[in-house]
Amino acid sequence: MAHIEPRIEATGDFCRELPAPTSAMVVFGASGDLTRRKLIKGLFGLYKRNLLSEHFYMLGCGRTEYTDDEFRKLAYEVIKDDDGHSGEFLKRLYYTNGDYNDAAFYHTIRGRLATLDKIHGQNGCYIFYLAIPPTVFGAVIDNLGKSGFAFGDAEDPSQCLRLIIEKPFGRDYKTAVALNEQIHRCFKESQVYRIDHYLAKETVQNILIFRFGNAIFEPIWNRNYVDHIQITIAETLGVEHRAGYYEQAGALRDIFQNHMLQLLALTAMEPPTSFEADRIRDEKIRLLRSIRPLGASEHDIVRGQYTRGTMDGHEVAGYRQEEGVAPNSKIETFVAAKLMIDNWRWKGVPFYLRTGKRLPQRISEVAVTFKKVPHSMFESLGIRELASNVLIFRIQPDEGISLCFEAKSPGAKTCISTLAMDFSYKNVFGIESPDAYQRVLLDGMNGDQTLFTRYDDVEIAWNLLTPVLQTWERDSSPYEYPAGNGSFPAADKLIESDGRRWREI
């Protein structure tokens, strides 16, 4: 692989990460797994990179009783840092407990914030983070509104109030609309940050730069040159400790409705007029509106559920044998779909999307397969058909981009080989990409909504998928596939009936 020297042409602050302004973060669900695994680690990463304000602090709110010291001890067990950074960071963490439905709890929070503001010299800019089950979103949002924590002036730092919400944003179209209406009774849309951490991954962001920053690719990014596009999010893990959540969600709600459709939108959307947050989000929404209505027919979408199988030489349980899963569960752990976009750019180009658990490898990628050359001049050499050029955006585990193309093999005889021009973030820049949560947390504190989902984006996605969910609730069980397998016949037929094949997992 050739070495690529990164060349920075931008000047000023464009390439420099701006540190967060003075603010405090109030995390609901602070005693939960998400806060420990993602938020605290993300905030600590920002702290070590000097991207948090010296006045920053976090107040954790939860139902479990902890003292400040007990909460800090839990945080230390997560970050496990002994290089001198953790002590000062942990002093910025506080905790209070109560009932999310009790108005008195929010008066306690207000009093605690007033005290902590004085200690840290904070000016009343609060970021409320909902790391809680969606069943209590409504109670927290309503009580924040009733307690006066709403409708701040986003232009006035002393009145900066923001709401960051973790998915899922509803269970279907009706519940998503109801949740948005409830939010808007207490917060303006400009204050609301709906997180999809997938959008903060380096390669996902680079799709925009790659498409709209290079004149050689955008002219061929359309139906005239692209044969089809595959988007894959494959996981080796099962449901692990998330069975309670997964039994209510399934792969369509957990991954497809948000991560996969967002990747599709970024890959296929029209060029925005500028890099401003709402101009980018406007184009994503126009693209989602162009997706042809999705039926529940197996020509459009299929679902599967993993059974007992073998992975890395070890036998693993099937989904229905996992702890916390109903023995007759119909929840899907695999979804494959064919989507068509009815607009000028993509008319007739299929987008094949698939996601699943207990698959052979952990891979997330967007693969753009271009049309084959219209006429091969090499038939006299015995080469009747050349392979398609494929452009691959690797999102995980090794973030990067590769382009497969045809070239002559060395030697006197004319032999053609498929070569890959490969770029890896780690190899080129010499550093690991920061965790995606660091990016979304920093953007939330800086008031940049580019990587966050807007209310109409959520509703359009649910409107597309709700008919499928309704059919599945009435329909028979999903197809079965053994753990460790990359697919199953019905999913293969979805793409093979078009004369194409899934990329190997």
Q: Is 241 a catalytic residue?
A: no
CA dist 435 and 201 (Å) reads 8
Asked if 458 and 169 count as a contact pair (C-beta separation under 8 A), the reply is: yes
Helix/strand/coil percentages in the chain, nearest 5: 35, 20, 40
Q: Indicate which residue of 55, 197, 228, 259 is catalytic.
A: 259
Identify whether the C-beta of residue 79 lies closer than 8 Å to the C-beta of residue 45.
Answer: no
Structure tokens at 455: 């209310």
Tokens of 99: 């009932």
Nearest in space to 160 (alpha carbons), one of 64, 23, 53:
23
Name residues whose C-beta falls within 8 Å of residue 224's C-beta, 6 or more positions apart in sequence.
none
Q: 228 with 311: CB under 8 angstroms? A: no
Tokens 């973060």 sit on residue = 25
In order of 12, 15, 212, 433, the CA distances from 9 in angstroms are 10, 9, 16, 20
C-alpha distance across the termini of the chain, in Å? 22
- The angle formed by the CA atoms of residues 98, 113 and 150, to the nearest 5 degrees, is 85
Sign of CA dihedral 398, 75, 452, 252: positive
Burial 424-439 (b: 16+ CB within 10 A, else e): ebeeeeeeebbbbbbb
Tallying the residues shown for the chain, one arrives at 505
Closest C-alpha to 108, from 22, 191, 24, 26: 26
Adjacent-strand bridge partners of 128: 26, 163
Which distant-in-sequence residues (6+ apart) come within 8 Å of 476 by Cβ? Answer: 330
Candidates 112, 363, 354; CA nearest to 229 is 354
| Bridge partner residues of 194 (DSSP) | 165, 453
CA distance 271 to 312: 43
Residues catalogued as catalytic: 259
